[in-house]
Amino acid sequence: MTASVTEHLHHVNSVLGDAVVDDREAGIYRANRRIFTDEDIFELEMKHIFEATGSTSPTRARWRTPVTTSPPTSDGSRS
């Protein structure tokens, strides 16, 4: 059974509620690792950041220059 919208929002709020510690006086700046591993946060990022902006990594077919593994020779060309 899937979680209700209210449960989902409560979960996301609990994750984001302590996502960042910003204590300037003590010089403490931390990000809770949970924001990087939580599946609900990941899904929201995919939907609202990457899908909404079209910001994705290009597929290999869209790269303009071929990827080579050989190092350049002394004249700068690749073998």
12 close to 24: Cβ distance less than 8 angstroms: no
Q: Where in the chain are the domains? A: 14-55
Give the per-residue pLDDT at 1: 45
Q: Which residues contact 63 (CB under 8 A, 6 or more apart)?
A: none
Three-state secondary-structure class, residue 22: strand
Residue partners of 56: CB distance under 8 A and separation at least 6: 50
61/45 Cα distance (integer angstroms) = 25
What is the Cα–Cα distance from 29 to 20, expressed in whole angstroms?
7
Give the per-residue pLDDT at 61.
54
pLDDT of residue 18: 85
11 - beta bridge partners? Answer: none
pLDDT tens, position by position, for the chain (79 residues)?
A: 466 888 888 888 888 888 899 999 999 999 999 888 999 888 888 888 877 766 555 555 555 555 556 667 777 666 5
Beta bridge partners of 29: 22
